Amino acid sequence: MIEKESIEVINTHFVFPNDTNNYGTIFGGKLVEMMDLTGALSAIRFSGENVVTASIEALDFKIPIKQGDIVELRSKVIYTAKTSMVVKVDVYREEKPGESKDFCCRGYFVFVAVDTHGRPKPIPILKPVSEEDKKFWKNGETIKRRALERKALSP
Ligand SMILES: CC(C)(COP(=O)(O)OP(=O)(O)OC[C@H]1O[C@@H](n2cnc3c(N)ncnc32)[C@H](O)[C@@H]1OP(=O)(O)O)[C@@H](O)C(=O)NCCC(=O)NCCS
């Protein structure tokens, strides 16, 4: 199986009124959708296959994102197994264009590469290069194990 490095995907969105609640801050579900999409792009680019979301780790939203803010999402594959990969997605808020970015939340998504019938398909192996890549590989391993533990507990 081929060994590959992972490249970061960066997606940027402007927060419109229809993305927000009565308080003028972004809906949690809307942000999860953006994160899922950005994460999926990383998984698709890495594997070269179609993917489905198998699992989303719990998310903690640290600071609100408001209407008119710019949302930046950065995703990267951090761990691979035979057909699945764990993708880290970080979210930043930019209140004023060109000024500093505030970290808002990090999510871990497990994607599985699938064929045209939706059956799992083997993917390349991630090659961790830097010390940071190696640290995140271990985090990814833990995320994947926890996802399978949760799966085992659900009907
Ligand atoms: C994800 C899915 C393809 C897995 O199919 P499956 O029949 O369980 O296949 P397998 O048991 O062979 O598992 C395939 C891989 O998925 C992983 N996997 C399955 N369920 C998982 C879960 N809940 N969390 C994390 N990984 C999971 C397995 O560990 C395995 O990984 P590996 O090959 O890298 O070791 C299937 O459960 C599915 O289609 N789920 C619905 C996906 C979906 O609709 N998502 C939302 C919209 S995109």
pLDDT, tens digit, 9 for 90 and up, residues 62-79: 999 999 999 999 999 999
Q: Is the CB of 148 under 6 A from ligand 1?
A: yes
Report the distance separating Cα 92 and Cα 100, nearest Å: 10
Cβ(28)–Cβ(92) below 8 Å: no
Predicted confidence at residue 98, as pLDDT, reads: 85
Summarised one tens digit per residue, pLDDT across range 96-107 is 888 899 999 999
pTM attached to this predicted model: 0.97
Q: Is the CB of 82 under 6 A from ligand 1?
A: yes
Strand partners, 30: none
Rounded to 5°, angle at Cα 49 from 136 and 2? 60
Q: Is the CB of 25 under 6 A from ligand 1?
A: no
| Secondary-structure class of domain 3-153 per CATH | alpha beta
Predicted confidence at residue 97, as pLDDT, reads: 85
**Percentage of the chain exceeding pLDDT 90:** 95
Pocket test for ligand 1, best of 112, 125, 126 (most atoms within 8 A of CB): 112
- Max CA-CA distance within the chain? 50
Predicted confidence at residue 32, as pLDDT, reads: 98
Summarised one tens digit per residue, pLDDT across range 2-32 is 999 999 999 999 999 999 999 999 999 999 9
Q: Is the CB of 28 under 6 A from ligand 1?
A: no
Judged against a pLDDT cut of 80, whether residue 1 lies above it is answered with no
**What sign results for the dihedral spanned by CA atoms 44, 114, 87, 73?**
positive
Mean pLDDT of the chain: 96
Predicted confidence at residue 142, as pLDDT, reads: 98
Q: Which residue is associated with the tokens 């994160």? A: 35
Report the distance separating Cα 90 and Cα 64, nearest Å: 14
**Burial of 31 per CB tally in 10 Å (0-12, 13-18, 19+):** buried
Nearest CA residue ID for atom 1, ligand 1: 54
Q: State the CB neighbour count (10 A cutoff) for residue 5.
A: 13
